[in-house]
Structure 1
Amino acid sequence: MAEQIAEQAAGQISQQVAEDRVARPRPVAVTIGRRPEPVHDVAVYAFDGMAPFELGVVVEVFGLARPELGGLLAAPWYGLKVCADRPGAELDAVGGFALTARHGLDDLAAADTVVIPGVRNAFSGVGAPPGRQTGGVSPGLVEALRTAHERGARIVSICSGAFALAAAGLLDGKEATTHWRYAELLQQRYPRVRVNPDVLYVDNGDVLTSAGSAAGIDLCLHLVRRDHGAKVANSVARRFVVAPHRDGGQAQFIEAAVRPVEEDEDGIARSMQWALDHLSDPLTVSVLARAARMSDRSYLRHFTARNGTSPMRWVVTQRIAASLALLESPEGTVEEIAAAVGFESAATFRHHFGRVMRTSPTAYRRSFGRGVA
């Protein structure tokens, strides 16, 4: 009987896909013998004159089927809707093509996660009196964002999308980031926002912002990590062919002159790989400099210039990253995990974990651990 039900369900799904090749059906969790779990709805905003890269990142992460995840998922994958101020209207995209969004702002306001991948022109209204500097943000979008936030939705911006969140008042009193090119303008226009131009993204829990275009990948992977754990996020990153977590911030990209790679810098890469193989060992700048066959002073200067962060800050980040898979396992105490990844004490581990992940190791294990009470 169960096999007949499964065959019937599969036949119905195949027929629906065949009959509606243009309109993609909403993802449905099909199970036998139990009630299907609800899909987490993600809505991404599309607008006339948009650059397609940021929209593509959101579609790639949340809208692509993920058969490779198999048994890794403890909950259904995301359902994605592309929304616009006027659903069905043709929207010009940078590059000489157009797209059409089938969903409107009502669907955006009703989603579980809302992503604003940019605004049409962040510099719109520069020089106008306060209150009339629209920044390319429509009143309808502002209202939809406020409605979604009041409902408890998670609100996310990429690049200049932070201007839409700020216009809705969702960043007041919060730390936020945007592309370094817009950071000063965002701070001037919205003085109640604490703009940090140096980071790749900022997670305030229900409101998250990211820097320039590629930082949107980092933030989307961070959301997957929050929702489904490090193993799933790593799998998505592998399919994306990107690192699961990048180190450093925007400082390494701000008007940096392109220069040839010096011969000594080969030692930087060698020392970084050596450090990854010896995370549990005591690591200092002197130890890493010896692995690179460089003086401490030269190593510190070259490492920081190359990576946009200091050697020891990078080491801490790698140790935190290594701890995630261990925390998701039911085996090992926080103290044992801290020692395994090279921290001198559990207290030091908790301090750095909280700074990097904005939560505690215990809370992370409670949220993402498999079989952990």
Structure 2
Amino acid sequence: MLTKIVCLVLPGTAPFEFGVICEVFGIDRSAMGGPAFDFHVATADPGPVMSSLGFTMDIRNDLSIADDADLVAVPAHLIGTETVDERYLDVVRAAADRGAWVLSVCSGAFVLAQAGILDGRRATTHWMHTDRLARRFPKIDVDPDVLFVQDGKIVTGAGTAAGIDAALHIVRVEHGAAAANVVARRMVVPPQRDGGQSQYILSPVPERRADSFAEVTDWMLEHLDEDLTVDQLARKALMSSRTFARRFRADLGTTPAAWLNRQRILRAQQLLEQTDDGLEHVARAAGFGTAAVMRHHFLKVLQTTPTAYRRTFSCRDDEAMAG
């Protein structure tokens, strides 16, 4: 279980990306039914550390506090041709070697790359830096388009706000959808954006179009248990099927089918956590039709089965013990 998290503060750390890690993992949300982590920040030389915006942060812990961390996180920092202090790289290597989670946000991926833990793996960073990452570290399979990538227990997030998605993804994997939803609700952000979504919208989105898609997606969520087709959704949006599919992808960064599939997985996760309904009933309610189809999607997206997911994250056992 994910318990101890250490965020590394390098010289030139970017405040927003640093704040994302602190916000997701550094606040005790147990009173709201969410997780509480043993959270720390650390630097190689304790004391004032200059941020990327020119102000200092007083960091009191040295890197030894990360020796037993379940997750080591590296936020964005100013990048150049110089190499990162070897002491930070040793912490990242040690975490990967012992099977801990390692998370980077934005240009933090360059630290993981210099540590060598991304060699032979798929990874991402901010789209402005992906070409540079690929040129400098040719052994990495750099994906320039996605919000985040999980390869084993190494998660690389794209620019800025995509770090929220990457961090929530780890919370969801370790503590379940309900816990991640509590964190997201407190942060007032969407509880789930699939890592495969595009980093950026390809064209400007008129305000009215966003409103129309909000109505359609709300309707889709209310009818997840039905067989929803693009033609049906297009009629709901008063568009042709081709226009609907193109604009949906431009607005939301994914296809209608992929968006629906992700929402159905989320619905199934919630039902598995919060009810004792049978797998066939959960599959129908979530829109998968059968338990076999649901199992296929769980294995593909979550790398686990519905039964194993329920065993790990069910709230029913806790309620029974409390009673």
**Does the Cα contact within 8 Å between 2:205 and 2:251 map onto a contact in 1?**
no
Which amino acid letter does the alignment assign opposite residue 87 of structure 1? P
Q: 1:329 maps to which residue? A: 274
**How far apart, in 2, do the equivalents of 1:264 and 1:197 lie?**
27
Distance 1:264 1:164 in 2: 40
2:108 maps to: 161
Q: RMSD of the TM alignment (CA)?
A: 2.4
Aligned to 2:117: 170
Which structure has the larger Rg over C-alpha atoms? 1
Confirm or deny that 1:97 pairs with 2:55.
yes
TM-score norm. by structure 2 comes to 0.90
Cα separation, partners in 2 of 1:166 and 1:252, compared to 1, 3 Å: closer
Question: Contact 1:211–1:250 at 8 Å: present in 2 too?
Answer: no
- Deviation by residue 1:93-148 (Cα, 9 ceiling, x = unmatched): 23342111111122223322100112430xx22xxxxxxxx4x4221111121122
The CA distance in 2 between the partners of 1:40 and 1:266, in whole Å, is 40
Q: Does residue 235 of structure 2 align to residue 290 of structure 1?
A: yes
Q: Distance in 2 between matches of 1:309 and 1:166?
A: 28
Q: Is the 8 A contact 2:2 2:71 kept in 1?
A: no
Q: Which amino acid aligns with 1:370?
A: C
Deviation at 1:214, TM superposition (A): 0.6
CA contact (8 A) 1:180 1:250 kept: no
For the 8 Å contact 2:147–2:199, the answer to whether it is kept is: no
Deviations 1:125-175 (A, max 9, x none): 2xxxxxxxx4x4221111121122223322111111111112212122222
Matched, 1:84 2:43: yes
1:363 and 2:308 equivalent?
yes
SS class of match (2:5) = strand
Q: How does 1:1-373 map to 2 (within 5 A)?
A: 40-69=3-32, 72=33, 77-88=36-47, 90-121=48-79, 124-125=80-81, 134=82, 136-247=83-194, 249=196, 251=198, 253=200, 256-261=202-207, 263=208, 266-329=211-274, 331-371=276-316
SS at match of 1:320: helix
Higher mean displacement: 314-323 or 220-229: 220-229
3-state SS of the aligned residue for 1:110?
Answer: coil
Does the CA-based 8 Å contact 2:145-2:198 persist in structure 1?
yes
C-alpha separation in 2, matches of 1:337 and 1:365: 11
Aligned residue pairs: how many? 318
Task: For residue 249 of structure 1, report the CA deviation from its aligned partner.
Answer: 4.7
CA contact (8 A) 1:118 1:157 kept: yes
Distance across 2 between alignment mates of 1:172 and 1:283: 41
> Cα distance 1:189–1:48, how it changes in 2: closer, same or farther (>3 A)?
same
Alignment check: 8 A CA contact 2:166 2:195 kept: no
Q: Does the aligned pair in 2 maintain the 1:248–1:307 contact within 8 Å?
A: no
Q: Distance in 1 between matches of 2:209 and 2:175?
A: 41
Deviation at 1:247, TM superposition (A): 4.5
Higher relative contact order (CA closer than 8 Å, sequence separation 6+): 2
My pick for the range that moved more, 350-359 or 215-224, is: 350-359
Unaligned runs of 5+ in 1: 1-37, 126-133
Change (3 A) 1:95 1:367: same
Q: Is the 8 A contact 1:118 1:158 kept in 2?
A: yes
Say if 1:206 and 1:248 are closer, same or farther in 2 by CA, change over 3 A.
Answer: closer
Cα distance in 1 between the residues matched to 2:63 and 2:101: 15
Instruction: Letter of the 1:368 partner, please give it.
Output: F
Cα distance, 1:264 vs structure 2 = 5.5
CA distance in 2, matches of 1:273, 1:259: 19
Change (3 A) 1:355 1:252: same
Q: 1:281 Cα deviation (Å)?
A: 0.8
